[in-house]
Amino acid sequence: MLTPAPAPSASQTRWPERLANGLFALSTLVYLLPFIVLPLLALLVNGLSLGGSATPLDSLLLAWANPTYRAALGNSLLLAGATAAGCCLLALPAAVILLRQPKAFAAWLPLGLLPLCTPPFLAAAALKGALGPGGWAGWLNHPAGLLAVEVVHYFPMLLLAILLPLRQRQQEIDSALLCAPRHGWRFLRRIFLPLALPGLTLGCALIFSRVLDDIATPLILGQGTLLAPLLYLRVGSHGFADPVNSVLALCLLCLTLGAWLLASRPFAPASLFSPLALPPADDERPPLSPGERAYLALLAGLAGLPFIALLLLSFAGLWSFTALPESYTLRHYLATWQTQQGALGNTLLYCGLAALCALLAALIIALRLHSRRTARARRLGNALLGLVALPGSALVIGYQQCYAAFSPFGGELLAAPPWAFIALVLSVRNLPYAVQILRLALANLPAQQLEAAHVLGQTPWRSLVRIALPLLAGSLVTAFAVCFLMAAFDLSTALILIPSENMAPLSYSIYLEMFKTSNQESGAALAVTALALLGLGAALGRQALRRRPRPVAEPAA
């Protein structure tokens, strides 16, 4: 005869919350404080010259007196704003079309995720190498060409940001479509724009911050009068301790965080990271018109054109003054495999450890936010989400200024940063993605199994290990893959942090190869190899998740 399990004590029921609070305090001291708060404070102190003999704001006035920096600030703001506006012009009509045909959204999901994972300099270098340094590609070495490359690269991400929140309210939209016309201003004003505004504003803010922090794309296209490229070049000539460099980094930081705060204040930031929902089983929707199909096909061709050019460039043997290569070869892939094994090993080391650190910190933070659903926890979650707008170049300068004089790095930090420090730096910018993925996973955990284990007398730790973690396995693997992918192509951080080619990850090696005026085919082959390896890893991870066993709660003894 089974006897009921003894009722848990008050200390046992409060044990998960105490554990979450203790782990969060430990992660704050070990991770958040030294790798986010202190570097930004060091950047602020050095930028305002509070630690030197100069009076505050002297460095700011010195930078503002230089007409080159004023022009760079204006050009950066103009480029970032025009890119966001151009993405809106391309993405909004496509979002209206896909809103009425949610089954077609699955085809756009990979195109929307690619701009999050790949830097735009790949598109610029691939188009420039495919079209040639002169002739057709001459218009790329112009501000309008840089704007076109940025818009083509980022508009699928804005389309994804608009559609993800709307898919959670698909039934409401379908009901509203029955009472309103499917076209025209009334549909846009009363149905589409109010529902799409959160994703639209946050997507534009993310694009704005990424364009401001872009270093490699303007340099490849010969547009150096921008804030981020000037900061990169000045760091190479004046060092990290220069107060003017700190002022430029603070300008980038204030602009990106200000845009994010303006966009996210009236809306819920988590709308960008809404979980994917299956499209409704409805075959009675009106088909797309030929014009709508042509528009979607044109946008798909624009989004895929840089990657097609990259693939052709990697196989090109002889390619001059022709639309397609005159001959094809595999020697670029063979040469890449022989010469870039060190970059591949560095990527696995840096990015694997960075993804692991971000995943561990994100799990602790997500457990804390899930256990305490208060206004303070909500503000903390929104603040962590704002790290997606943090410019990598400004953050790296803050690290160098904060830790150059401290052990164990000492003065050798600038000359030979250790691999552990590089991994921790790369993990910071990927933390918000992992936190949001795990928060959504914790919110969707089935409460029935956890309650059943509690009734059967299982301890909270055993319930966490035997039930919660197996249920979170898919989200943990997804968060690790996202963090690894983002760290592997985080070029803004790598350009300033990595001192030599021997320590370079794949993104830095691809940039060095693509920046050459000749033999860009090797860089294209390296980029295609990196994308293929990452895609293979994602496919293997997805297949492993499909075969994982289901968790079973053990009965009490």
Q: Yes or no: say if 137 and 244 are a contact pair by the CB < 8 Å rule.
A: no
Residue 96 has a pLDDT of 84
CB-based contacts of 519: which residues, under 8 Å, 6+ apart? 513
CB-based contacts of 228: which residues, under 8 Å, 6+ apart? 76, 212, 213, 214, 215, 218, 252, 391, 393, 492
How far out from the chain centre does Cα 182 lie? 34
Distance CA 56, CA 223 (A): 32
Segment 391-420 mean pLDDT:
66
| pLDDT bracket for residue 282 (50, 70, 90) | very low
DSSP string, 272-331: GGPPP-PPP----SPPPPHHHHHHHHHHHHHHHHHHHHHHHHHHEEE-SSSSS-SEE-SH
Query: b/e per residue, 163-200, with b = 16+ CB within 10 A?
Result: bbbbbeebeebeeeeeeeeeeeeebeeebbeebbbbbb
Q: How many CB atoms lie within 10 A of CB 254?
A: 11
DSSP string, 3-64: -PPPPPPHHHHTHHHHHHHHHHHHHIIIIIIIIIIHHHHHHHHHHTTTTSSSPTTHHHHHHH
Q: Is the dihedral of CA 325, 329, 331, 333 positive or negative?
A: positive
pLDDT in tens, 102-117: 666 667 777 777 887 7
Is the pLDDT assigned to residue 414 strictly greater than 50? no
Residue 407 has a pLDDT of 42
Q: Yes or no: say if 219 and 30 are a contact pair by the CB < 8 Å rule.
A: no
pLDDT in tens, 516-557: 766 678 888 888 888 887 777 666 656 655 554 444 444 444
Is the pLDDT assigned to residue 453 strictly greater than 70? no
Q: Is residue 139 part of a domain?
A: yes
Q: Is residue 105 part of a domain?
A: yes
Q: Is residue 118 part of a domain?
A: yes
User: φ, ψ for residue 277 (rounded to 5)?
Assistant: -115, 150
List the end-to-end C-alpha distance of the chain, in Å, as a whole number: 12
Choose among 505, 512, 475: nearest CA to 275.
475
**pLDDT higher at 268 or 122:** 122
Q: Is residue 70 part of a domain?
A: yes
pLDDT in tens, 117-159: 788 888 888 888 777 655 466 678 888 889 999 999 999 989 9
Distance CA 394, CA 251 (A): 9
Distance CA 538, CA 182 (A): 38
pLDDT in tens, 201-260: 888 999 999 999 999 899 888 888 899 999 998 888 888 888 888 888 999 999 998 888
Residue 405 has a pLDDT of 55
Segment 420-448 mean pLDDT:
81
Q: Is residue 245 part of a domain?
A: yes
What average pLDDT does the structure give for the chain?
A: 77
Residue 280 has a pLDDT of 45
Tokens read off for 366: 């997500």
**pLDDT higher at 472 or 358:** 358
Residue 132 has a pLDDT of 66
Q: Is residue 383 part of a domain?
A: no
Q: Yes or no: say if 486 and 117 are a contact pair by the CB < 8 Å rule.
A: yes
Segment 350-359 mean pLDDT:
89
Segments forming the whole domain that contains residue 94:
51-319
Q: Is residue 58 part of a domain?
A: yes
Residue 181 has a pLDDT of 54
**pLDDT higher at 363 or 538:** 363
Is the pLDDT assigned to residue 88 strictly greater than 90? yes
Q: Is residue 491 part of a domain?
A: no
Number of domains in the chain: 1
**pLDDT higher at 18 or 97:** 97
Residue 133 has a pLDDT of 53
Q: Yes or no: say if 240 and 401 are a contact pair by the CB < 8 Å rule.
A: yes
Query: What burial class does residue 246 get, using C-beta atoms within 10 Å of its C-beta: 0-12 exposed, 13-18 middle, 19+ buried?
Result: buried
Q: Yes or no: say if 501 and 342 are a contact pair by the CB < 8 Å rule.
A: no
Whole-structure pTM value: 0.84
Q: What is the CATH number of the domain that holds 283?
A: 1.10.3720.10
Q: What is the residue whose two structure tokens read 């050095």?
A: 46
**Between the CA of residue 313 and those of 28, 464, 522, what are the distances in Å?**
46, 50, 9
User: φ, ψ for residue 316 (rounded to 5)?
Assistant: -70, 130
**pLDDT higher at 286 or 241:** 241
| pLDDT bracket for residue 170 (50, 70, 90) | low
Is the pLDDT assigned to residue 408 strictly greater than 70? no
Listed range (75-89, 92-106, 249-263, 298-312) with the worst mean pLDDT: 92-106
